[in-house]
A and B are shown apart, each in its own frame.
Chain A
Amino acid sequence: MKLRRTMLFVPGNNPSLIRDAAIYNEDAIILDLEDAVSINEKDSARFLVYQALQSLDFRDKEVAVRINDPKTPIGKMDLKAVVKTRKAVIRLPKSECKEDIAECAAIIEEIERENGITVGTTRMMAAIESAIGVLNAKEIAFASPRLLSIALGAEDYCASIKTSRSANGQELLFARCMILQAARAAGIDCIDTVFSDLKNDEGFISEVETIHQLGFDGKSIIHPKQIQMVHAVFTPGEAKVQKAMAVVRAIVDARDKGLGVVSLNGKMIDRPVVLQAERTLMLASAAGLLSREDKEYARLA
């Protein structure tokens, strides 16, 4: 299980931003070759990102590269460059149906075979940015075992349903719920859209609270200043952490005593509770809330 609370978009044509991408405490980095890069800079940006993946230390952060449409020659060249490095996840641009994922996966498989890379090791992330994509969310989420997550892209989606973004985000509720159910059903992560108004911290936090409550794993972000605000919302409260620790201790105790069934306060603990506790402790640990002893318990469990 990996945390993906914050996925920081970094323009693939900006050397200093790429160099500095890993100094912040975001969970994941998305080097962008698509929207951030103008058509006449696609080749140089691809070269830059390729070199960056080969030479920079991204400090164990998950790194993805958003490629151009894999159906185009530019997108195919992006795929070739990135897959070869074995160092990044492929973040697809807009996906509308399972074939979009499958076709890209097929190209990746070809590149893997050509370069002696174990087939299936290159992972993918998808984004849904249209009405048809939202309606096909389930088939997209199940389209490939390579998929780690699906994300909502709200700007294009709003245009496709003939509206624009509002402060309370009600126009996104349906899409968010659809994508979230699809991701959960497929057992992959679900990431929310970017929030572009960097001056509106209040609006940003409110949106993060909404998607956190809905069940999202994290948010795409466009500036390092957004990281702390997201992490603050995703940091579990003291009571929740204590409850998770109790679950973990119960598991360790049961194992020590050779018991097949784990129970806490007379109630049996089932798998969803364990997973929930595990995630809570990961979030707490990332926020620096766990003592060394607590971390050791969590590891044992």
Chain B
Amino acid sequence: MLDLHEIELYTDIMGLHGLFEPDKLHKNYELIDERNQIRSKIIPSLEEAVRLSGLKDGMTISFHHHFRNGDYIVNLVLDTLARMGFKDLVVAASSLTDCHAPMIEHIQSGVVRRIETSGLRGKLAQAISNGVMNAPVVFRSHGGRAYAIETDELQIDVAFLGAPSSDAVGNANGYSRENNDKGIMCGAMGYAKCDATYANKTIILTDHIVPYPNAPFGIPESDVDFVVQVDAIGNAEGIMSGATRFTNNPKELLIAQLAADVIEMSGRFENGYSFQMGSGGASLAVAQFLREKMLRNNIKASFALGGITGRVVDLHEEGLVHKLLDVQSFDLIASQSLKNNRYHQQISASYYASPANSGTAVNQLDFTVLSALEVDCDFNVNVLTGSDGVIRGAIGGHPDTACGAAVSIVVVPLTRGRIPCVVQRVNTIVTPGKTVDVVVTEYGVGVNPQRKQLRENLAKAGIPLLTIEQLQQKAESLVGKPEPIRYLDKVVGIVAYRDNTIIDLIHQVQ
């Protein structure tokens, strides 16, 4: 018999539970079928899973946006919770979009009290801009959201995470190597990974139960409490297109060519460099022009980060980009690549952009190419509100990559229709000008005066440089000065910077 009193300072040591008792031990010896039944986390209905999760009125529920505009999960869950009589919930989604318009009803009926998201679009955005909610929506960047979750400042009580594949114990992923993905595939699930890790309870919703183990997995079973099989998790066409389309718009191509020239002449375009490109027309086209430059100069990138597109996968498969770090796959080619390519790594939102980690991937970037709704004379960028003051966008990783990358390049047309895009003061500051290095328009390039060396390098290379004020004046000379937007006093949105300090407020539109 062991004598615990022999151990010096025994009572100071934590995490020991007294003496081992063999009689209490249960040895597993089930048959495969029995085991599958006993160990399974599959719950027959969503209602039952919600009851088991212990969800109560006023709690915080979370969702990811990997299904983009094809998402069924948010509406399905909120309809179910409304039927079950829940009230005053906080919806903390990694982002929300057009297809989430039915949430308006749940706001009006009191099911949803508050929203946290990266972005809003469509009717839901319009309703919120019109003041449908009592509490303001909190907008966080992808890095800022991960940071808030990690630090428990944003505590998720129950995460409802749609997954294109899961096994019975909750190993879930945005694809499956088992067999075909029933037409649904979203590639990386980087935003969901954070939620699953830190949520008090995690429920996986899937239409595709695969045999154990669902490896590789994006979300490990250890982070999952319940699995619910549903008829459909999303609409494949809304989730992703076959390949993100390469733009034919000559103006976007002109801007992209200029942005690629800026990268080449920046003084940092050398073997082992790294970049992130967005999925917008111009930023996507930059990848194509960079390819030519990489081949011509025999330069290879060490990695590409971010939302990964088929265009970037092409560069990887051609040997021009060594590794891909993928928090979100933008098209089927990117998803297929994540499934098949050895050096295509799925990463979480925290790994991607959390300011809590000094080694976070965005801090390893040489270049990021970002789009914008507006840029102002202090280089501040708005990607959230339109020229009418209505919310119509998403912060995404904009402020995260702008801060982390050594050279952040914003590509933006000088005007869109009759709307100036380089202005004296943006409607809403999302990314602070201090972190924006270059603005590329079809009329020329503006370099942040803080970046003297960069400016010198670009000037020497013959890049057409203008001051940001000249660009603003040019835009004004083309389309005039817009009437100021009329806002009411009510705050409908709080824009958090990536460190979760408040960088701007969004007011109700008149």
Contact = CB atoms under 8 A, between A and B. Distances in A.
21 contacts: A16-B417, A19-B415, A19-B478, A20-B251, A20-B442, A23-B251, A23-B254, A23-B442, A23-B443, A24-B250, A24-B254, A56-B478, A57-B477, A223-B250, A224-B250, A224-B253, A224-B254, A225-B248, A225-B250, A225-B253, A288-B462
Contacts of B442: 20, 23
Those 9 A-B pairs whose CB atoms lie nearest each other, nearest first = A224-B250, A23-B442, A20-B251, A225-B250, A19-B478, A23-B443, A23-B254, A24-B254, A223-B250
B479 to A, nearest CB: 9
Nearest to B417: A16
Contacts of B462: 288
Nearest to A225: B250
Contacts of A57: 477
A191 B415 CA distance: 33
A212 B254 CA distance: 25
Nearest to B253: A225
Chain B CB within 10 Å — which of A20, A24, A56 has the most? A20
Contacts of B415: 19
Contacts of B251: 20, 23
Contacts of B253: 224-225
Contacts of A23: 251, 254, 442-443
Contacts of A225: 248, 250, 253
A82 to B, nearest CB: 21
Nearest to A23: B442
Interface string B254-272: 1000000000000000000
A97 B443 CA distance: 42
A290 to B, nearest CB: 12
Interface residues on A, range: 10 to 19
Interface in A1-37: 16, 19-20, 23-24
Nearest to B462: A288
Interface in B401-432: 415, 417
Interface in B453-468: 462
B265 to A, nearest CB: 13
Contacts of B478: 19, 56
A31 B478 CA distance: 18
A6 to B, nearest CB: 13
B273 to A, nearest CB: 25
Contacts of A24: 250, 254
Contacts of A20: 251, 442
A223 B248 CA distance: 11
B333 to A, nearest CB: 22
B418 to A, nearest CB: 9
A19 B478 CA distance: 8
B413 to A, nearest CB: 9
Nearest to B479: A19
Contacts of A288: 462
Nearest to A25: B254
Contacts of B443: 23
Nearest to B257: A228
Interface in B282-303: none
A225 B248 CA distance: 9
A20 B443 CA distance: 9
A300 to B, nearest CB: 23
A24 B443 CA distance: 9
Contacts of A224: 250, 253-254
Nearest to B442: A23
Chain B CB within 10 Å — which of A16, A19, A23, A224 has the most? A23
Contacts of B254: 23-24, 224
A204 to B, nearest CB: 15
A225 B442 CA distance: 14
B481 to A, nearest CB: 15
A288 B478 CA distance: 29
A56 B414 CA distance: 14
B258 to A, nearest CB: 10
A73 B251 CA distance: 36
A20 B442 CA distance: 9
Contacts of A223: 250
Interface in B94-131: none
A224 B478 CA distance: 20
A118 B415 CA distance: 37
A225 B478 CA distance: 24
B154 to A, nearest CB: 43
Contacts of B477: 57
Contacts of B248: 225
A63 B248 CA distance: 25
Nearest to A228: B257
A16 B250 CA distance: 12
